[in-house]
A and B are shown apart, each in its own frame.
Chain A
C-alpha cells in the first residue's frame, strides 16, 4: 500500500496561546515494500509525521494519501478504522500500552477490534509471538509479570497480529540493551522482507538507518531537509555534522582512514564487511602497482 504526504502542515493546539507549528510543507512518498528511515533531532517533527501515517493526526494543511484513502487538511474524516488496520504503529516504549490479564488476550485485542474472529486471532497470536522470539508458554501469564524486554516483545506482537501492510516503528529499540536492540531490529527486517511490508522507522540511530533502510529522510525543525539512499546521505558527512547529526561508525572510520592514509575509496561503505573488503582490495592493488 502506497502512502504519500503532500505539503503537509500540522499545528499543535491550534487557536490557543500554546499553538506551535510542528511540521511544515512535508512531502514524502512511501511506495509499497520500501524500508524508509526518518532521522532527526528530538523536536524535529518526526513523531508528528509518523502519526499522520495512520491518521492519528490529521493535517492542518496539505493531503495525506494512505492507499486509496485521502485525508485532506481542515476536513473531518470518517472511517479511519480501515486505514488503521492496514498501518500498524509500534510506539516508543510500546510496553506501556499493555493492559490485559494475559499475554494472549493482549495480543488478540487489536485483531478482535478490527473484526477478526477469535479463533483466527488466537492463531495469529501464536505466530506473532514466535516472530518476536517468545515461547507459547507465556501466553497465559500476566503481561505485568514479564521482564521489560519481554513486555516490549509482547506489545510488538500485539501490533504484528493485526497483520498490517505497513509497519511504522517509532524508536522501537529505545531503552533496550545492545543485544536486544539488534535482535529486535533484525526481526523487523526479516518481517519486512518476508511479508513485503512497507516499513517506516523513526530513529536517532544512524547505524540502524544505514544498515536497514532503502531510503532516508532527514528532518530538521519541522521540515524535510534531505532525502536519498543511505549512500547518498552519508557521502556528504560534513553536511550531516553541520546539522548536528551523527555519521555511522563505519563511515566515520572510512573517512578517518582515507584522511590518514591519503587514499580515497570509490564510494561510501555502510557495513564493516563491505568496507574491509574494499580496503583490502585497495591495499593489495596498492602493493601490486
Chain B
C-alpha cells in the first residue's frame, strides 16, 4: 500500500525538465504558486491548465503512474469542491432541495478553487518527480545563500532537508516491514471498526519512532566520525549549471504571468 506513494519520489527519465537546473525549477514553482492566484476567469484558468499539461508532457512522466499516485489527493480536491458548492451563498440560486441550496457562485468558486488546488499539486509533484532530492537541496541552498547575511542558517537547513528527503524511502520501507510484521501478529490495518483501526496505528508508530531515533543517532555519530564540522568552507562536488532551457522556461513563465495579468477580469 506504500508502493503507490509518489510524494518525494524521483522518476528517472531523459527529458528537458529532468535536465533543467534545480534553481530555475524552484524559481518556477515559487512563481507559479504566486501567479496561480491571478487566475479568476475561464480564460486564465484555461491558460494555467494548458501550461501545466504542457510541462507535464515535457517531463515524460507516465500519466498512468501520476494518476495512480495522485488518486488519494483527488479526493481532497473533490472535498474542496463539495465544500465550496454547499457553503457559498452568492449569485443566483440554481438548485434547491430541502435545506440544500446551491448557488451559481458556489459552482463557479468550487470548480475554480479545486482546479487551482489540482494544478498546484500537479506542478509541485512534477518538481519532485523530475528532480533528485539532492538537486533540490543544492538548488535551495544556492538560492537562499544571500540570507546568510542575516544569519539565517542556510546550510544547516539544506542539510536537514536533504537528510529528511534521503530517509523518506528508508522510512517507507521500514513502515512496510513493520506493518507486515504486525499484520502477521494479527493486526488489521485496513478493515474493522474505526476505533480499532486507530488503535492499530500504535504498534506501527512506536517501532518507527524508536528506529528513527536510533538511526538519527547513528547518522550523527557517523558524520562526526568523518569530520563533519558544519558548512564553513565546504565546497561542492556537484556544480549547478544554468542552461538555455532554463532561461527559456523562466521566460515562458514570465510570458504566462503577463498574459494572466492582462486577461484576468
Interface residues of A (CB under 8 A from B): 12-13, 15-18, 51, 54, 56, 81, 84-85, 87-89, 91, 94, 96-99, 109-110, 112-114, 144, 158-159, 162
**Closest A residue, CB atoms, query B185:** A110
Contact: A99 with B185, CB < 8 Å?
A: no
Report yes or no: A96 in contact with B178, Cβ–Cβ below 8 A.
Answer: yes
CA distance A94 to B184 in the complex (A): 12
- The chain B residues found within 8 Å of chain A, CB to CB, are 3-4, 11, 62, 64-65, 68, 174, 177-178, 180-188, 202-203, 206-207, 210-211
From the candidates B185, B186, B187, B211, name the one contacting A96 in the complex (CB within 8 A).
B211
Whether A97 contacts B183 by the Cβ 8 Å rule is no
Q: With CB as the reference atom, state the residue of chain B lying closest to A95.
A: B207
Contacts of B186 in A (CB 8 A): 81, 84-85, 110, 112-114, 162
B165 to chain A minimum Cβ distance, whole angstroms, is 18
Q: A56-B180, A88-B184 are in contact. Are A99 and B64 (CB under 8 A)?
A: no
The answer on a CB contact under 8 Å between B185 and A12 is no
- The chain A residue sitting closest to B3, CB to CB, is A13
Q: Are B177 and A91 in contact (CB under 8 A)?
A: yes
Check B178 against A97 for contact (C-beta < 8 Å).
Answer: yes
How far is B65's CA from A56's CA once the two chains are assembled, in angstroms?
Answer: 24
Contact of B207 among A18, A89, A99 (CB under 8 A): A99
Contact assessment for A12 and B182 in the assembled complex, using a CB-CB cutoff below 8 Å: no
Closest A-chain residue to B4, C-beta based?
A: A16
Q: Which residue of A lies closest to B183 (CB)?
A: A56
Cα distance, A63 to B181, chains bound together (Å): 23
Given A56-B183, A144-B210, 13 other A-B residues pairs in contact with their CB atoms under 8 A: A13-B3, A16-B62, A16-B65, A18-B3, A56-B184, A89-B181, A91-B180, A97-B203, A99-B203, A99-B206, A109-B185, A110-B186, A158-B185
CA distance A144 to B206 in the complex (A): 11
- Give me 24 A-to-B residue pairs in the complex whose CB atoms sit less than 8 angstroms apart, sorted by A's number: A15-B64, A16-B68, A17-B62, A51-B180, A54-B184, A56-B180, A81-B188, A84-B184, A87-B184, A88-B184, A89-B181, A91-B177, A91-B181, A91-B184, A94-B181, A96-B181, A97-B182, A99-B202, A99-B210, A109-B185, A109-B203, A112-B186, A113-B186, A162-B186
A23 to chain B, nearest CB (A): 16
Assess the B68–A15 pair: CB atoms within 8 A. Answer: yes
Q: How far is the CB of A19 from chain B (nearest CB, A)?
A: 10
User: Which residue of B174, B177, B178, B185 has the most chain A CB atoms within 10 A of its CB atom?
Assistant: B185
Q: A21 CA to B186 CA in the complex, in Å?
A: 28
- What residues on B are CB-neighbors of A144 within 8 Å? 210
Chain B's nearest CB lies how many Å from the CB of A62?
20
**Contact yes or no, A17 B177, CB < 8 A:** no
Contacts of B65 in A (CB 8 A): 15-17
How far apart are the CA atoms of A183 and B177 in the complex, in Å?
A: 26
Question: Which B-chain residue is minimally distant from A93 (CB atoms)?
Answer: B177
Contact present for B211 and A89 (CB under 8 Å): no
Of A94, A97, A144, the most chain B CB neighbours within 10 A belong to: A97
Complex: how many Å from CA A13 to CA B172? 14
Is the pair A96, B177 in contact by a Cβ cutoff of 8 Å?
yes
Query: What is the CB-to-nearest-CB distance from A200 to chain B, in angstroms, rounded to a whole number?
Result: 13
In the complex, what residue of chain B is closest to A109 when comparing beta carbons? Answer: B185
Contacts of A159 in B (CB 8 A): 184-185
Closest to A161 in B: B185
Shortest Cβ gap from A15 to chain B (Å):
7
Residue of B nearest to A110 (CB): B185
CB distance from A50 to the nearest CB of B (A): 10
B166 to chain A, nearest CB (A): 18
Q: Knowing A94-B181, A97-B207 touch, does A113 contact B187 (C-beta < 8 A)?
A: yes
**A residues less than 8 Å from B177 (CB atoms):** 91, 96
Shortest Cβ distance from B11 into A: residue:
A17
Closest chain A residue to B214 by CB distance? A96
**A16-B187 in contact (CB<8A):** no
